Amino acid sequence: MAAHNELGQKGEDRAVEFLSAKGFKILCRNWHFRHKEVDIVALDAGVLVFVEVKTRSAFSSPNDVISYSKVRFLEEAAEAYIRQYNFQGEARFDVVLLTKKAGSFDIMHIPAAFR
């Protein structure tokens, strides 16, 4: 596995631990819609949360890590997930941004990051 893939996998694992510790119920990881995936789908106090995880080796601004096209894809994937599982309730999009630092990660959780 390439180094950037390993870093991304470690970041996703850490994001799951972080969200679980905050009380999120992880429903699935790497949910596929067409040829793309949603990193984490979870419940937070009954709210369905689609989580995009971004892991970097150096600090990045949250505004620099999610493109408009990625936002559109996540919205489409969320609609597909909601239809497939017939979810009736509120949903939102969170971003978890991890920056590798001396063997650990700094974590920035941005609830309701967009729409």
Q: pLDDT confidence of 8, banded at 50, 70, 90?
A: confident
Q: What percent of the chain has pLDDT over 90?
A: 63
Residue 43's nearest CA partner among 62, 58, 28, 57 is 28
Question: Hey, how many other C-beta atoms are within 10 angstroms of the C-beta on 63?
Answer: 6
Pairing of strands 36-44, 25-33: antiparallel
pLDDT value at position 58? 74
Average pLDDT over residues 8-32: 95
CA-to-CA dists, residue 51 to 8, 37, 102, angstroms = 14, 11, 25
Please state, in angstroms and rounded to a whole number, the distance separating the CA atoms of residues 59 and 51. Answer: 19
Express each pLDDT in 53-73 by its tens digit: 998 877 666 566 788 888 999
pLDDT value at position 62? 57
Residue 38, amino acid: V
pLDDT at residue 9 greater than cutoff 80: yes
